Structure 1
Amino acid sequence: MRNSFSILTVCTGNICRSPLAEQLLVTQLRNIPEITISSAGTRALVGEPMFATTQEIAHSYGAETTEAHRARQVNETLLESSDLILAMTRDHRRAVVELSPRVTRRVFTVREFARLAEVTTDDVLASEIARTGESPVDRLRAAVKAVTLSRNILPLLADRAEEDVIDPYQREKKVHEASAQQLTPAVDAVVSLLRRSVEGAL
């Protein structure tokens, strides 16, 4: 069993949304050394850097390592070594599951996971943690299981598009900003849930 908890963010080209999500998560979770974070694309522009406007937005949120990013293609090995997969849209989530059906219970759109995290109570979280172990990695994996259970109580959205983060690729800066405004609160909710599982007195 790996002694780290791996988060993978996924979009299409791996130069806008998923690397921004990766950078936001890295910035907010850097003090939990057991967590590793990376990104990939379903049709990646392999080897390309993060889009310049996305880098600018990432820097505005405190990211520091954007220049090192290079796009890579998602694959089955990468998916199956991830404990939590955060897709930017329902189409990305579907592509991930088609590529590796075994990760179905670990893949969510990032906005879906955020909604689930907000209705996952401390009692449910504590119950799942009690079934696993007390190490940070055990607690983080238990948190994903607890969120999965919350799928049973979360009502469907009237507009399913609200589960997606809009694609800003080759669009004007205001679309990049609107995409980031959808993404950042979702990332905040993911971070909050993971911190509750590791740091909270459950």
Structure 2
Amino acid sequence: MTPRDPAEPLRVLVVCTGNICRSPAVERLLAAGLGAAYQGRDGGGLAPAIEVGSAGTGAMVGWPMPDEMAALVASQGVSPDGFAARQLTPGMVQQADLVLALTRRHRSAIVELVPAAVRRTFTLRELARLVGDIDPATLPGANATTADRLRALVPVAATRRGLSAHRPADDDVIDPYSGDEAVYRKSFGQLLPAVETIVAAVRR
């Protein structure tokens, strides 16, 4: 990879299968929590410090979020409007500073696509779990920006892998597509706390 231009935003890419349920929900929730730009919303003409996007390994290209997931996102005061699914490409992964997969299978697919991304690719719940083991003092202090702290978090989290026991399945978020309202709520209930944990870690 070439060195990152310091004027460029920190880019976060969220990946699931169809890019209509889990990854767009995380995209919008994470962007809201971090004060970041996302698809359909820029910084009002200002260069954003963080950009959050999403894509799918088998995307339903151009589709919006299903009503069930859109309603859950909106229930958090976050807009689901203007979303359109995108197919994952190697270029998206190469440009991302942090890649968040919704399952271990997605994480494997991302790393197979771009092997160099392995140390900056996590499942969402994996990163949230690792964040809980990180001493806040290892991240930039009070004068640092959210982008500074998130950028520093990635390599620190990578060094924490494998240091504590956990159930591998706990790193996945279930796919609610074609399920009933209860399945959507279960999926959302897995992803929302993980997003909140990551946001809290970098916005202290």
Match of 1:168 in 2: 176
For the 8 Å contact 2:36–2:52, the answer to whether it is kept is: no
2:202 maps to 194
Shift of 1:138: 4.4
Matched, 1:142 2:152: yes
Classify the secondary structure of the residue corresponding to 1:119. Answer: coil
> What stretches of structure 1 of length at least 5 have no aligned partner?
197-202
Q: How big is the shift at 1:31?
A: 6.6
Pair 1:77 & 2:88 matched: no
C-alpha RMSD of matched pairs (Å): 1.8
How far is the alpha carbon of 1:35 from its aligned partner? Answer: 1.1
What displacement does 1:164 show?
A: 0.3
Q: Is the 8 A contact 1:114 1:189 kept in 2?
A: yes
TM-score when scaled to structure 1? 0.86
CA contact (8 A) 2:173 2:191 kept: yes
Match of 2:40 in 1: none
What do the CA deviations read for 1:68-93 (whole angstroms, capped 9, x no partner)?
Answer: 11000111100011111110000000
Partner of residue 22, structure 2 = 17
* 8 Å CA contact 1:27, 1:62 repeated in 2: no
Structure 1 residue 61 and structure 2 residue 69: aligned?
A: no
Residue 67 of structure 1: CA displacement? Answer: 2.2
Displacement of 1:139: 3.9
Deviations 1:110-142 (A, max 9, x none): 00000000101123335xx8xxxx676444322
Bigger fraction of residues in helix: 1
Matches within 5 A, 1:86-165: 86-126=100-140, 137-153=147-163, 155-157=164-166, 159-165=167-173
| Cα distance in structure 1, aligned partners of 2:159 and 2:26 | 24
Unaligned runs of 5+ in 2: 38-47
1:183 to 172, 191, 194: 191
Q: In terms of mean alpha carbon deviation, does 85-94 or 1-10 score higher?
A: 1-10
Instruction: State whether residues 9 and 40 of structure 1, in contact with CA within 8 Å, keep that contact through their aligned partners in structure 2.
Output: yes
Contact 2:24 2:54 in 1 (8 A): yes
Q: Secondary structure at the match of 2:13?
A: strand
Question: In structure 2, what is the equivalent of residue 8 of structure 1?
Answer: 13
Partner of 2:44: none
Change (3 A) 1:76 1:29: same
- Normalised by the length of structure 2, the TM-score is 0.86
Contact 1:84/1:144 (8 A) holds in 2: yes
Deviation, 1:193, is 1.9
Q: How far does the alpha carbon of each residue in 1:132-167 deviate from its partner, in whole angstroms, 9 at most, with x for none?
A: xx67644432221111122252x231x311110000
Name the % identity.
Answer: 42
Distance 2:114 2:157 in 1: 20
